[in-house]
Amino acid sequence: MDNATDILCDAVQNSYADGFLAKVYGAQCIVSLLAIPPAIAMCLAIGRASALHKNIRRLLVNFLIATILSNVGIMIVSGYHVWAVVSSNSVHKLCDMIAMTGRSCTRLQAVSSYGSFTIATSLIFLAIERICATVWFKTYENGGYRKLGIVLSVSQWIMSIPALPFLGEVNTRYPYCQSAVVRPRASQYFMACMLIAQITGLVIFVVLVIVNKRKMSRYFFNSALKLLSVRYQLKENIGTTKLMIPISIASAFLYAISLIIIIVLLEDLPDNAQLTTKIAQKMISFARWREMIGFAIPLHTFALCTVVVCYSSHIRQATIKLIGWNRRTIATSKSGRTDPTARNSNVEAEQTKKRYFDALKMQWESVTVSNQSKQQQCSLDVMASRKSHGSQKIAWDPQDTQL
């Protein structure tokens, strides 16, 4: 037992001797903290983007909430390790705080694991929603599909419940807190499944873009596209689905790198391994690479916010309005009077909206009037045809009588 403890404490001391891991954990804590405000702002902007369908807005907000949760989890884990390094005044105390059991490590990473798993499943549920929007494109905008987003959102969070540490893990202590060092085979299978899920979502999004573009070209001269809602829904399907392609590529790349590192660095490590000097050294080498990948979630959050703003004009406009509204609110609260620029911009926006919907109303009324006139003309033609046949019959009756 003393030999195992010495191996464990020596491994912890060696892993933190050069200060590399401590610096990485400190940087993770800062970067994760910086990634949370943009994600919250994107949630508010997407909620205000009323031009998008409610279902896609709910799922995108869920996606961002999952990224926020994952960043909070990374802050908890990295903050704990930084605090352990700073507060420890001896090697034994550092060993006691860093070398946790599998059960304690799983609980420490519960928030991060739940958020990361929800991020991985978010793309699948977004793909399901986009499939529904493509199949029911004629009625999806005005049809009764509002509950679909709620069902998919709730299912997404329920599906991620297995990531929570309800069941206790092994009580063996390891020099690095990560589920992959406890059960590397299960981690490999999990990463492989998540990679397949991300690639599947990517393929679905690419296929949906192609299908919607073909529908646009196929129905271009079709009467179905005369309806504004149908044409609008097809354009939104293409735009929103294109938005998910770079996000899927980034997620697939992240899981591919994680899977490669686990396979290469933990190839010979058995599940629930007994700690030896060789195994401890393998875990320390794995820890340095794995914590570098830990920056992927905050960077993925920044990339997600950037892609959403760049690829969706509706979300971009909502973001600009949100930032402008916050600035005007701060200026108004400081000055104590209403900003005339804000009032004029609001009036101009309302006038633009009114002109747009008036134009749509006139277009709809003109189509309705033309259809009614066509129907009246057809009715008059039918009546005239009947009268002409009737007059011919009356003209011939007297001759028939004389004969």
* Structure-token pair, residue 302: 């920044």
Residue 142 is encoded by which pair of tokens?
């005005």
In one letter, which amino acid is 341?
T
The burial class, CB within 10 Å (0-12 / 13-18 / 19+), for 147 is: exposed
Classify burial at 17, counting beta carbons within 10 Å of its beta carbon; exposed 0-12, middle 13-18, buried 19 or more. Answer: exposed
Segment of 89-93, 245-249, 331-335, 370-374 carrying the highest mean pLDDT: 245-249
- Give the model's pLDDT for residue 76: 92
**pLDDT, tens only, 288-310:** 888 888 888 898 889 888 888 88
Q: How far is CA 265 from its chain centroid? A: 31
If we measure between CA atoms, which residue out of 251, 261, 243 comes closest to residue 301?
A: 251
* Per-residue model confidence (pLDDT) at position 384: 60
Higher pLDDT, 314 or 246: 246
For 313, residues 6+ apart whose C-beta sits below 8 A from its C-beta are: 239
Mean residue pLDDT of the chain comes to 76
Q: What is the mean pLDDT of residues 235-246?
A: 79
Q: Which residues contact 321 (CB under 8 A, 6 or more apart)?
A: 48
Q: Which two tokens stand for residue 77?
A: 């884990």
Query: What is the SS3 assignment for 276?
Result: coil
Domains and CATH numbers, the chain: 2-329 (1.20.1070.10)
pLDDT band at 235 (very low <50, low <70, confident <90, very high): confident
- What confidence tier does 363 reach under pLDDT thresholds 50, 70, 90? low
- pLDDT for res 1: 45
157-160 — which CB contacts under 8 Å span 24+ positions?
157/62, 157/118, 159/121, 160/114, 160/117, 160/118, 160/121
Greater pLDDT, 192 or 355: 192
pLDDT in tens, 2-29: 577 788 888 888 888 888 888 999 999 9
What is the pTM for the complete model shown? 0.73
Amino acid found at 209: V
Residue 71 pLDDT grade (very low, low, confident, very high; cuts 50, 70, 90):
very high
331, 339 contact by CB (below 8 A) = yes
Please indicate whether residue 234 or residue 72 has the higher confidence score (pLDDT): 72
217 pLDDT exceeds 60?
yes
Which pLDDT band holds residue 67 (cuts at 50, 70, 90)?
very high
Average pLDDT over residues 101-114: 83
Tens digits of per-residue pLDDT, 197-213? 889 888 988 888 888 77
Could you tell me which residues come within 8 angstroms of residue 127 by beta carbon, excluding any fewer than 6 positions away? Answer: 200, 201, 204, 205, 208, 244
**Do residues 24 and 77 make contact, with C-beta atoms less than 8 angstroms apart?**
no
Between CA 9 and CA 93 the distance in angstroms is: 10
pLDDT at residue 266 tops 70: yes
pLDDT bin (cut points 50, 70, 90) of residue 133 is confident
Distance between CA atoms of residues 87 and 31, nearest Å: 22
Average pLDDT of span 223-252:
71
Paired tokens of 129 = 């929603």
Burial class (CB in 10 A: 0-12, 13-18, 19+), 47: middle
Residue pair 98/175 in contact by the 8 Å Cβ criterion: yes
Cα separation values, 279 from 155, 189, 284, 309, 370, Å: 40, 21, 9, 46, 81
Give buried/exposed letters for 346-374 (b at 16+ CB in 10 A, else e): eeeeeeeeeeeeeeeeeeeeeeeeeeeee
383 or 108, which is more confident? 108
Give me the pLDDT at residue 383, please: 63
What is the per-residue pLDDT for 341?
46
